[in-house]
Amino acid sequence: MAASAGDSGILEEELTCPVCLELYRDPHLLPCGHNFCLPCLRRLKSRSDRGRLRCPECRQSHRSSANWQKNFKLANIADRFRRRGQSELSNPSRSDPSCKPAEVRCDYCPEGTGEDGTSGMAVKTCLKCEVSMCPKHLQPHLELPAFREHPLVEPLDDMRKRKCGEHDEMFRYYCLDERLLLCNACTIEGTHDRHSIKTLKNAMKDLKSYLDIQLLKVNRKIRRVEKNHQEQKEIERQNRVYLDETDQHLSAFRETSIAHLDAFLSSLRECVSTYDVEQCSGIQQNLSQIAQDQTRLQEVHSGLERLLMENDPFQFIRDYNSSVKRYRRQLRKPLYFSDEPTVDTEPLYETMEGKMGDFIAELQQHATTLINTVCEFDGGDDEAEVDADADDDDEDDDDDEGSLYEDIDSSSDIEGEEEMRSEEEEQNRSESVDDDYTPEEEEEEEEEEDDDD
């Protein structure tokens, strides 16, 4: 069976930490038997006097160095109750359809006086009179001077949330040292002796003053971030322009290099052609001389074969006497042999080497010009500007952030200057907040974040 709204409210009250007024997170048990969230106990320990802390419930004194025992059962119950509430908020269709948002009825209207047969719905609750009122019964509080100092808030369905559980009185004060809501009896009993205590209205005013200072600081840093973002965008744009120009230079260098390479290859071909003409001329002369030797020897060979084939002695002797001397003279002539049996490429090598030297020198000159042109991108001023802004931000971040409650004590000096919103005054005010931030508070905030995780 689902628990009623009243039962859920009682259960939530029992599972609420008396210090932070939230559902227990990692509850631990003091020797006196009262449970508190671990971050709340650490906060009380950091403000303990002479190594001892007082229980916010019974004011019993305990050693700060004592080991606190975790209440596992209470932690499980609080976690399940928290998850159930989140599930009902995220899945309203699964909750009881008859459940509606709590509506506070007017304490002055009797039952059945509303238009629909019910009592009038309250629009405000007076914390001093401890009553909720409809628009009709609210008029005296708005018109009569006697009710001028009565604080009005949104309708409350449970006044116990605004009351001290120990003295059953309305919370009217706030202890800055222990961050606790107090009633009149809490301030009279002396448990908060020498503590900094303010009324809820003044505490809210001081806290809002502090938040206003923080808002100015956030706005100033937002402007710095936006400026830094714009500078980085400008650097990105300049970088894109630089890359485009570099690509154009490289494309031009490629075309120039190809043109020079084609010219170099053409000159090499011309050298080879010239060498070929010179070599062919000598070779043709040698071939002509060799052809003459072949013709002469072939004639001798043919004549000798004819003589050997002659069978008539008379004719043989006659032909022999008339031709043998001539054949002998032909055979005695020396054969032609060239003085250069191999191709001489030395002149060609020297010519081509000279052409290559000219090509490399010209190509190197163009490459050097390209590199100098590409590397002349002037980004030094912008980089120096960005580095200066980064140094300023580092100096601001190195300044310690101010303590919340120490700033509240000094906020009265700042209230008269809130109307002057120039950027220089905003910067001075926000920097003055960062002077009193203590490492202990930073460590405490980190521990609270770890506990929440």
Residues 322, 447, single domain; the answer is no
Residues 348, 438, single domain; the answer is no
Residues 246, 207, single domain; the answer is yes
Crossing angle, helix 423-433 and helix 200-309, to 10 degrees?
Answer: 100
Residues 347, 422, single domain; the answer is no
**Among candidate residues 77, 95, 113, the one where a domain is terminated:** 95
- What Rg, from alpha-carbon coordinates, does the chain have? 54
pLDDT of the chain along its 453 residues, tens only?
344 555 666 787 788 888 877 888 888 888 888 888 888 888 888 877 777 888 888 878 888 777 788 888 888 888 888 877 766 655 544 444 444 446 788 888 876 555 444 457 888 888 888 888 888 888 888 888 888 778 888 888 777 778 887 788 888 888 888 888 888 888 887 677 778 888 888 888 889 899 999 999 999 999 999 999 999 999 999 999 999 999 999 999 999 999 989 998 998 888 888 877 777 777 788 888 888 889 988 988 988 888 888 888 888 888 888 888 888 888 888 887 776 655 677 888 888 888 899 889 988 998 998 888 888 754 444 444 545 554 555 444 444 444 444 444 444 444 444 444 455 555 554 444 444 444 445 555 556 555 555
The answer to whether the beta carbons of residues 18 and 43 sit under 8 Å apart is no
Measured distance CA(221)–CA(214) in Å, rounded: 10
Q: Examine residue 331 and state whether it is found in any structural domain, yes or no.
A: yes
pTM score = 0.42
Measured distance CA(114)–CA(101) in Å, rounded: 18
Task: Please give the pLDDT value at position 254.
Answer: 92
Residues 367, 428, single domain; the answer is no
Measured distance CA(357)–CA(362) in Å, rounded: 9
Task: Please give the pLDDT value at position 438.
Answer: 46
Residues 250, 356, single domain; the answer is yes
Residue 39 structural domain: 1-95
Residues 373, 417, single domain; the answer is no
Residues 375, 407, single domain; the answer is no
Measured distance CA(185)–CA(169) in Å, rounded: 8
CATH value at residue 51: 3.30.40.10
Task: Please give the pLDDT value at position 341.
Answer: 53
Q: Examine residue 236 and state whether it is found in any structural domain, yes or no.
A: yes
Please give the helix or strand (H or E) that residue 408 lies within, else none: helix 404-410
Between the alpha carbon of residue 22 and those of residues 109, 298, 444, 446, the distances in Å are 33, 128, 18, 19
Residues 278, 350, single domain; the answer is yes
Which of 70, 37, 69, 74 has its CA nearest to residue 56?
Answer: 37
Measured distance CA(68)–CA(70) in Å, rounded: 6
Give me 328's structure tokens: 């002998």
Counting the structural domains of the chain, the total is 3
Give me 217's structure tokens: 């600081």
**Among candidate residues 61, 95, 129, the one where a domain is terminated:** 95
Q: Where are the beta strands (DSSP E) in 130-203?
A: 131-133, 152-153, 173-175, 180-182, 197-199
Residues 343, 434, single domain; the answer is no
Task: Please give the pLDDT value at position 6.
Answer: 59
Residues 311, 340, single domain; the answer is yes
Q: Examine residue 392 and state whether it is found in any structural domain, yes or no.
A: no
Q: Examine residue 106 and state whether it is found in any structural domain, yes or no.
A: no
**Among candidate residues 354, 381, 408, the one where a domain is terminated:** 381
Task: Please give the pLDDT value at position 221.
Answer: 93
Q: Examine residue 192 and state whether it is found in any structural domain, yes or no.
A: no
Crossing angle, helix 380-398 and helix 200-309, to 10 degrees?
Answer: 140
Q: What is the DSSP letter of 339?
A: S
Triad 358, 359, 365: Cα angle to 5°: 90
Triad 186, 160, 168: Cα angle to 5°: 35
Q: Examine residue 371 and state whether it is found in any structural domain, yes or no.
A: yes
Crossing angle, helix 313-332 and helix 200-309, to 10 degrees?
Answer: 140
Residues 340, 415, single domain; the answer is no
Q: Examine residue 281 and state whether it is found in any structural domain, yes or no.
A: yes
